[in-house]
Amino acid sequence: MKEKILAEIKRIEEQYEVKVCYAVESGSRAWGFPSKDSDYDVRFIYVHKKNWYLSIDQKRDVIELPINELLDINGWELSKALRLFKKSNPPLMEWLHSGIVYYQAYTLVDKMKAIQEKVFLPQSALFHYLNMAKGNFRDYLHRDQVKIKKYFYVLRPILACIWIEKHNTVPPIEFQILVEELLDEGQLKHEILTLLERKIRGDELNLEQKVTVINDFIKREINRLEEYTKILKVSKEDITPKLDQLFREVLEEVWTEY
């Protein structure tokens, strides 16, 4: 599959006259709980030629390919990615830490990682993950019977919030790391790991009785984290000048021949 993804990246570069700097897996495969039939969620950052940026017209800053049953590929243009990086955009932060990197070129990602601590906003990440957990819990887990896969779309953001609360850093993208680092041995951890094994095995769509110990944990943590977000205040310096310089350096690096 990697060869197919790399071929798609090459085709994108030729069709749109761009250079891709970074392409990663961003979905359940990167999170550590893929199913047998999971598709590939590929996300990338790309750079246009210099003249593209020298225009008064507002232009489309994403590339999205038609989704098929196997591949979901889309990317963000460099300046859009850096604006979101400045805001500590959680999905973008996850891209930077994906354990499945399909393609990396130039110095962009290394430079972004070198200054990520200056841009990471705990409150931004907490609100993102907490809202994700609340929404998925409300939509999928409040019934007596639930689908196994839906637990992970609530548990992972909850554990990401707990990681941020504890470490004040970007949380690991892999679900298993969050579980091992944050949960003590006991019934809760055992039930979660049992569900994880079953999901990977292919039982994820089964409707069955909710797991009380997990539901109780989720409800308790959502309530607690909502209170925590009310008192969390972290300020960061404005690094716009650094990101402007990074943008110019990468643009020059990628298109030196133009």
Long-range contacts of 86-89 (CB under 8 A, 24+ apart): 86/119, 86/239, 86/240, 86/243, 87/119, 87/121, 87/124, 88/119, 88/120, 88/121, 88/124, 88/125, 89/124
What pLDDT score was predicted for residue 46? 98
What pLDDT score was predicted for residue 37? 73
What pLDDT score was predicted for residue 204? 64
Residues of the chain where predicted confidence (pLDDT) is lower than 70: 204-205, 257-258
Quote the Cα angle for 245-247-248, to 5°: 65
What pLDDT score was predicted for residue 50? 94
Nearest CA to 45 out of 117, 110, 11, 95 is that of 95
Quote the Cα angle for 12-17-22, to 5°: 55
The dihedral built from the CA positions of residue 111, 113, 117 and 122, taken in this order, carries a sign that is: positive
